[in-house]
């Protein structure tokens, strides 16, 4: 399978921690203050560096208005402007045995998803009655992001967050619907083997975009990562659903 994502290869927000700088997020403007985590380091250590606060009100949240139209290719996120929309980018990355619509090297017609959330293999066939079997999940739900710091980001930064491959995972449609806008304190994948990777990715997204976690979220994440203390924090250039595991 040929990967179409062209990642930036660096976590600007995370790497800045090494020099003590104020990081700049996608779009060029500094994000909210906080201590960024080091890329590639242990996720448990990165978790301890995230700010902990209560959840802000959801007032003003609007998916399209605040985070842009779904799956736009016109963002500063890694993979943006590659002539393939974000949803298809993620399907190309996460599905196996990918087949494209006739005449296209972008639109995925079918494939098989090794679903990280349930541990099952799910057949994907594009169509009005079948496409929803596989959905693309925002690992940090956008409404959760809105209530934990994204209100302070620029529009450009929020649109980058919504289309960042670090933030996105192809997953079972029913599992994604069950998760809804829950954080780690309210929902974890039923596939226990994926929970460490899932939580590590949430931490990486929150660190990159200068978001905070709630006390309950920190407790839940700590509980998961204590079972895998060597779990690494993923980077923008980590490949595949399992991130550090080659396909």
- The predicted pLDDT at position 116 comes to 97
- The predicted pLDDT at position 236 comes to 72
pLDDT tens over the chain, length 247 residues: 444 443 333 333 333 333 333 334 555 443 433 333 344 469 999 999 999 999 999 999 999 999 999 999 999 999 999 999 999 999 999 999 999 999 999 999 999 999 999 999 999 999 999 999 999 999 999 999 999 999 999 999 999 999 999 999 999 999 999 999 999 999 999 999 999 999 999 999 999 999 999 999 999 999 999 999 999 999 876 544 333 333 3
- The predicted pLDDT at position 235 comes to 80
3-state secondary structure string, the chain?
CCCCCCCCCCCHHHHHHHCCCCCECCCCCECCCCCCCCCCCEHHHHHHHCCECCCCCCCCCCHHHHHCCCCCCCCCCCCCCCCCCHHHHHHHHHCEEEEECCCCCCCEEEEEEECCCCCCEEEEECCCCCHHHEEEEECCCHHHHHHCCHHHCCHHHHHHHHCCHHHEEEEEHHHHHHHCCCCCCCCCCCCHHHHHHHHHHHHHHHHHCCCCECHHHHHHHHHHHCCCCCCECCCCCCCCCCCCCCC
- Neighbouring CB atoms inside 10 A of 1's CB total 12
- The predicted pLDDT at position 26 comes to 53
In which residue are the tokens 């806008």 written? Answer: 181
Q: Is the pTM of this model over 0.75?
A: yes
Contacts of 23 (CB under 8 A, 6+ apart): 12, 13, 14, 15, 16, 17, 30, 31, 36, 210
């Amino acid at each position: 399978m040929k990967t179409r994502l062209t990642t930036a290869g660096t976590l600007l927000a995370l790497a800045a921690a090494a020099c003590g700088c104020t990081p700049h997020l996608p779009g060029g403007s500094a994000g909210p203050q906080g201590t960024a985590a080091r890329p590639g380091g242990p996720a448990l250590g990165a978790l301890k560096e995230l700010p902990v606060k209560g959840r802000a009100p959801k007032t003003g949240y609007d998916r399209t208005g605040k985070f842009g139209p779904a799956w736009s290719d016109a963002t500063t996120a890694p993979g943006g402007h590659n002539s393939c929309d974000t949803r298809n980018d993620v399907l190309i990355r996460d599905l196996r045995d990918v087949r494209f619509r006739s005449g296209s090297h972008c639109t995925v017609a079918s494939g098989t998803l090794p679903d990280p959330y349930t541990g099952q293999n799910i057949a994907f066939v594009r169509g009005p009655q079948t496409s929803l079997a596989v959905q693309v999940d925002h690992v940090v739900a956008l409404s959760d992001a809105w209530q934990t710091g994204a209100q302070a980001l620029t529009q450009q930064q929020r649109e980058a967050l919504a289309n960042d491959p670090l933030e996105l995972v192809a997953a079972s449609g029913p599992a994604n619907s069950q998760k809804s806008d829950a954080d780690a304190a309210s929902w974890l994948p039923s596939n226990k083997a994926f929970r460490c990777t899932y939580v590590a990715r949430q931490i990486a997204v929150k660190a990159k975009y200068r978001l905070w976690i709630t006390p309950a979220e920190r407790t839940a994440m700590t509980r998961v990562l204590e079972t895998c203390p060597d779990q690494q924090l993923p980077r923008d250039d980590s490949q595949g659903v399992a991130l550090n595991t080659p396909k």
